């Protein structure tokens, strides 16, 4: 996703001189071509994320479209109050791009994991949150972020995420995407773990369980219409996110469901169970250790379906 | 330069406006506003290329009140510049007003940045200064900081950034009144040697009497102090300047004179007619 993001930003910056890449000493090497070709549109502010956001807001007040970039906790939590006051309160046209969604930086430990970001960014008025599931969607969300006037938080993975979309599709900000139809139960997912969800759903099909899979790339604003229609159609919903179980994506969907008129929904959130992920290995190892493997998704889906019956 | 005597009178008038606004509202920051009066008068009436006709123009000079708690003063100044409607000053901090204790840019004309949380203004100003360099516009960006505010780490991140990028169109002014919310800066978190700190961060430093309008003006007329360097003006001021019982007394950081003896002294020292206090902002 990181490369998709960067090559897309390069193309956007080529056409629109107001677009700028502002980084906090991360990704600078892969940005070399950008820096070389558009020196006036690139700034590495150094390891100073609070200043990064303030400078970006100042640039945006002069008509620039800054895409700020570093590892997720450092661009969301470290300068959180700058994002609140300088970006969201003023509704400035600043894009916050966090690399390393969820447990991507598996070996770097809890300081580098991003499992709180959705929760904290979700409570900021004026903020739009997008969380692409694969490289093609990362490209589409980057274009959408540039087109939207206002703050956007873009949550991307690192590299090697398998493609979910085999071909181009009609992307619309705020609109969920049905990746697989199913009648018994629906899974809402966001980010690269959507690939595991899709695999799990296909395998469950062989067990005669018909699972609908919906990719929610826009976490704020949520596609309320689709959530409610799906709840009515299937009666049971599982949410899957690579994020703390509290306050994140699943919580957002729970809020929508609980305040709706729909009753008797079987509902379960799958995520990291309110802990720091002090464990090392590959991204896949960490997902398995913290209950987010394909097998975990299958088990939770079966259990939820049993409740329904 | 405008006539100094007129501006001295204007400074006095700004103090009257501020204290009336705060007194009526029962809120706002009087003493921190009073220490900045001459700085803002010098800026808005002698230095800034900014008036009621160009305050949204992309080539205007910018003024950012990073010490947002002096919002009452900035409103009084903007009203004097006819950027803000004079008639709304008396709504300050009251129900349905657009004028809060800290200014909000999307509510109030002439406000560049919503401040109140300290430490934000210099980075924002540096971003505007950088945009000016990229777009080859010759505006200047002035940021007013309080001395206590420079205890924020972000100020020094911004200070590094501004000198690295040679932002000589960026000017920080420190309202150095030596007091912060709970006491003397020197006792709470010493900044000394203050000017050396800025110098070592690559800034050109000048110091002035922050209540001397002509001195402030003359100094700011020579910006950038050095080409390719950001400038900082350390303005030595007195917190609560203009009211005998308020000057240099920490408790007045966020306190309003009471309706008995204190208000009488205010009226006497600032030449406010006690009986006329009512619709005072016409």
Per-residue pLDDT tens digits for A197-221: 999 999 999 999 999 999 999 999 9
Instruction: With respect to residue A167, please indicate whether it lies within any of the assigned structural domains.
Output: no
Model pLDDT for residues A129-163, shown as the tens digit of each residue: 999 999 999 999 999 999 999 999 999 999 999 99
Tell whether A51 and A124 lie within a shared domain. yes
A291 in contact with chain B, both atoms CB, cutoff 8 A = no
Which residue, among A57, A223, A3, A90, has the nearest Cα to B128 in the 3D structure?
A: A57
The answer to whether B131 contacts A58, with C-beta atoms less than 8 Å apart, is yes
Residue in A48, A59, A60 nearest the CB of B161? A48
Distance CA A90, CA A149 (A): 12
The secondary structure of residue A72, as a DSSP letter, is H
Q: Which of B117, B134, B165 sits opposite A85 (nearest CB)?
A: B117
The pLDDT of residue B277 is 65
Do A283 and A242 reside in the same domain of the chain?
A: yes
SS3 for A4? helix
Same domain, A144 and A280: no
C-alpha to C-alpha distance for A31 and B205, rounded to whole angstroms:
36
* Range B4-276: architecture per CATH: 3-Layer(aba) Sandwich (3.40)
Residue A65, in any domain of the structure: yes
Q: Three-state SS across chain B?
A: CCCHHHHHHHHHHHHHHHHHHHHHHCCCCHHHHHHHHHHHHHHHHHHCCCCCCCCCCCCCCEEEECCHHHHHHHHHHHHHCCCCCHHHHHHCCCCCCCCCCCCCCCCCCCCCCCCCCCCCHHHHHHHHHHHHHHCCCCCCEEEEEECHHHHCHHHHHHHHHHHHCCCCCEEEEEEECCEECCEEHHHHCCCCCHHHHHHHCCCEEEEEECCCHHHHHHHHCCCCCCCCCCEEEEEECCCCCCCCCCCCCHHHHHCCCCCCHHHHHHHHHHCCCHHHCCCCCC
Average pLDDT, stretch B91-100?
95
Helices (H), A80-148: 80-82, 117-122, 135-147
Mean pLDDT of the region B163-187: 96
Buried-state track B104-134, b at ≥16 Cβ within 10 A, e below 16:
bbeebebbbbbbbbbbbbbbbbbbbbbbbeb
What is the spatial distance between Cα B63 and Cα A129, in angstroms, rounded to a whole number? Answer: 32
- Report CB contact under 8 Å: B130, A63: no
Q: Are B256 and B27 in contact (CB under 8 A)?
A: yes
- Parallel/antiparallel/unpaired status of strands A218-220 and B179-180: unpaired
Residue A284 has pLDDT above 70, yes or no: yes
Give me the pLDDT at residue B282, please.
38
pLDDT given for residue B281 in this prediction: 45
Q: CB of A55 within 8 Å of any CB in chain B?
A: yes
pLDDT of residue B60: 98
Give the distance, in angstroms, between the CA of residue A7 and the centroid of all CA atoms in the same chain: 19
Q: Do A43 and B58 touch (CB under 8 A)?
A: no
State residue B275's pLDDT score: 74
CA dihedral B52, B112, B237, B80 (to 10 degrees): 20
State whether A7 and A152 are in the same domain. Answer: yes
Query: What is the model's pLDDT at position B276?
Result: 67
CA separation (Å) from A23 to A16, A56, A63, A102? 18, 10, 18, 20
Percent pLDDT > 70 in chain A is 100
Domain endpoint, select from A91, A122, A156: A156
The pLDDT value given to residue A224? 98
Q: How many CB atoms lie within 10 A of CB B177?
A: 26
- Quick check: B58 and B138 in contact, CB under 8 A? no
Q: Which residues in chain B touch residue A90, judged by CB atoms under 8 angstroms apart? A: 105-106, 113-114
pLDDT category of residue B260 using cuts at 50, 70 and 90: confident
Range of the domain at A203: 177-308
Q: Tell whether A151 is covered by a domain.
A: yes
Q: Which residues of A touch B132 (CB under 8 A)?
A: 62
Helix (H, G, I), strand (E, B) or coil at A194: helix
Select from B117, B122, B131 the Cβ nearest to the Cβ of A62. Answer: B131
Number of domains in chain A: 2
Cis before residue B161, ω within 30 degrees of 0? no
Regarding whether A62 and A28 lie in a shared domain, the answer is yes
Domain identity same for A145 and A182? no
Q: Please state the rounded mean pLDDT for residues B154-176.
A: 98
pLDDT in the model for residue B280: 45
- Residue B60 phi/psi, 5-degree rounding, is -70, 155
Taking 90 as the threshold, does the pLDDT of residue A309 lie above it? Answer: no
**Chain B contact for A45, CB < 8 A?**
yes
Q: Please indicate whether, in this complex, the C-beta atoms of B123 and A63 are within 8 angstroms of each other.
A: no
The three-state secondary structure class of A284 is helix
- B143 contacts in A (CB within 8 Å)? none
Number of C-beta neighbours around residue B98 at 10 A: 17
pLDDT digits (tens, 9 = 90+) for A93-136: 999 999 999 999 999 999 999 999 999 999 999 999 999 999 99
- In the three-class reduction of DSSP (H, G, I as helix; E, B as strand; rest coil), residue A207 is classed as coil
Predicted structure pTM score: 0.96
pLDDT in tens, B129-164: 999 999 999 999 999 999 999 999 999 999 999 999
Is the CB of residue A46 less than 8 Å away from at least one CB of chain B? yes
| Confidence bin at B105 (pLDDT 50/70/90) | very high
Span B234-259, pLDDT tens digits: 999 999 999 999 999 999 988 999 88
CB contact under 8 A, A55 and B105: no
- Mean local confidence (pLDDT), B257-281: 81
Please tell me whether residues A134 and A181 are part of one structural domain: no
Shortest Cα–Cα distance, A106 to chain B (Å): 30
Which residue of chain A is at minimal alpha-carbon distance from B108? A90
Interface contact flag, B158 A62, Cβ < 8 Å: no
Give A30-86 pLDDT, tens digit per residue: 789 999 999 999 999 999 999 999 999 999 999 999 999 999 999 999 999 999 999
Compute the average pLDDT of residues B188-201: 97
Domains of chain B, residue spans: 4-276
Classify residue A162: in a domain, yes or no. Answer: no
Task: List chain B residues with CB under 8 Å of A86.
Answer: 113, 120, 123-124
CATH of the domain at A38: 3.40.50.970
pLDDT at position B91 is: 95
* Residue A147 shares a structural domain with residue A232: no
CA distance B16 to chain A (A): 31
- Same structural domain for residues A6 and A130? yes
Q: Among residues 200-259 of chain B, which lie with CB inside 8 Å of chain A?
A: none
With CA atoms as reference, the chain A residue closest to B156 would be A51
The answer to whether the CB atoms of A55 and B135 lie below 8 A apart is: no
Residue window 137-166, chain B: list those with CB within 8 Å of chain A: 153-154, 157-158, 160-161, 164-165
Residues A45 and A110 placed together within one structural domain of the fold: yes
A70 DSSP 8-state letter: E
- B4 touching A (Cβ < 8 Å): no
Query: Contact at 8 Å (CB) between A272 and A290?
Result: yes
Query: pLDDT for A6-45, tens place per residue?
Result: 999 999 999 999 999 999 999 867 789 999 999 999 999 9
The CATH number for A273's domain is: 3.40.50.920
pLDDT score, position B149: 98
Q: What is the pLDDT of residue A166?
A: 86
pLDDT tens sequence across A162-173: 999 988 899 999
């Amino acid at each position: 996703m990181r490369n998709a993001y960067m090559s897309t930003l390069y193309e956007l910056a080529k056409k629109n001189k107001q677009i700028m890449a502002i980084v906090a000493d991360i990704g600078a090497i892969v940005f070399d071509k950008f820096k070389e070709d558009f020196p006036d549109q690139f700034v590495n502010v150094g390891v100073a994320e609070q200043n990064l956001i303030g400078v970006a807001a100042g640039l945006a007040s002069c008509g620039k479209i800054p895409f700020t970039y570093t590892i997720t906790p450092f661009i969301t939590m470290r300068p959180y109050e700058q994002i609140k006051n300088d970006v969201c309160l003023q509704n400035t046209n600043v894009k916050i791009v966090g690399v390393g969604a969820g447990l991507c930086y598996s070996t770097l430990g809890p300081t580098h994991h991003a499992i709180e970001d959705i929760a904290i960014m979700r409570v900021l008025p004026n903020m739009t949150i997008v969380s692409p599931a694969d490289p093609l969607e990362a490209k589409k969300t980057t274009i959408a972020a540039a087109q939207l006037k206002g703050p956007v938080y873009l949550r991307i993975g690192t590299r090697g995420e398998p493609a979910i979309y085999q071909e181009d599709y009609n992307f619309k900000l705020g609109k969920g995407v049905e990746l697989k139809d199913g009648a018994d139960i629906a899974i809402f997912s966001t980010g690269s773990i959507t690939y595991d969800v899709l695999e799990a759903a296909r395998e469950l099909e062989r067990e005669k369980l018909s699972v609908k899979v919906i990719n929610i790339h826009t976490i704020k604003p949520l596609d309320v219409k689709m959530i409610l229609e799906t709840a009515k159609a299937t009666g049971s919903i599982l949410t899957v996110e690579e994020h703390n179980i509290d306050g994140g994506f699943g919580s957002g969907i729970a809020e929508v469901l609980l305040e709706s008129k729909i009753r008797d929904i079987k509902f379960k959130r799958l995520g990291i169970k309110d802990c720091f992920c002090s464990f090392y290995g590959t991204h896949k190892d960490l997902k398995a250790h913290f209950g987010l493997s394909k097998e975990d998704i299958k088990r939770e889906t079966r259990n939820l379906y049993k409740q329904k019956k | 330069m405008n006539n100094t005597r007129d501006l001295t009178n204007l400074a006095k008038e700004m103090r009257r406006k501020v204290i009336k606004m705060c007194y009526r509202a029962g809120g706002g920051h009087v003493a921190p506003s009073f220490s900045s009066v001459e700085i803002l008068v010098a800026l808005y009436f002698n230095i800034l290329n900014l008036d009621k006709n160009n305050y949204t123009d992309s080539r205007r000079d910018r003024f950012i009140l990073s010490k947002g708690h002096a919002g009452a003063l900035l409103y009084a100044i903007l009203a004097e510049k006819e950027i803000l409607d004079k008639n709304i000053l008396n709504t300050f901090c009251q129900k349905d007003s657009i004028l809060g204790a800290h200014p909000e840019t999307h509510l109030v004309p002439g406000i560049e940045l919503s401040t109140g949380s300290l430490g934000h203004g210099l980075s924002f100003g540096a971003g505007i200064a950088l945009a000016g360099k990229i777009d080859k516009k010759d505006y200047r960006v002035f940021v007013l900081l309080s001395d206590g505010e420079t205890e924020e780490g972000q100020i020094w991140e911004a200070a590094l950034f501004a000198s690295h990028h040679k932002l000589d169109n960026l000017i920080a002014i420190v309202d150095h009144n030596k007091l912060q919310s709970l006491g003397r800066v020197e006792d709470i978190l010493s900044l000394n040697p203050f000017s050396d700190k800025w110098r070592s961060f690559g800034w050109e430093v000048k110091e002035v009497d922050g209540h001397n309008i002509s001195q402030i003006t003359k100094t700011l007329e020579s910006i950038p102090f050095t080409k390719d360097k950001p400038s900082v003006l350390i303005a030595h001021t007195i917190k609560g300047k203009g009211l005998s019982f308020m000057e240099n007394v920490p408790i007045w950081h966020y306190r309003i004179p009471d309706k008995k003896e204190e208000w009488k002294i205010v009226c006497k020292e600032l030449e406010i007619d006690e009986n006329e206090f009512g619709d005072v902002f016409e």
